[in-house]
Amino acid sequence: MAVPTRSSDESITQSDLNTVMEQVPKGALALAGIALLLLLAGWFFVYFVIFIPRGSVG
């Protein structure tokens, strides 16, 4: 049966939130950091392994 996809946040207590906020944003930093590293690695790969060997153009 369908449920509206928003949940009410009255059930979250301030103390729950405080506990959780001690950890946040470590996970987000880790995830975003890994994504950024992968992006950079990919970019440098394309740049130095594919692009530069194909010759100079100007």
Rule CB under 8 A: which residues touch another protein? 2-7, 9, 12, 16-17, 20-21, 23-33, 35-36, 38-40, 42-44, 46-47, 50-52, 54-58
SS3 45: helix
Q: CA torsion 39→41→42→45, rounded to 10°?
A: 160
Give min distance, CB of 44 to another protein, in A. Answer: 7
Give min distance, CB of 10 to another protein, in A. Answer: 11
Give min distance, CB of 41 to another protein, in A. Answer: 10
Tell me, what amino acid is at 36?
Answer: L
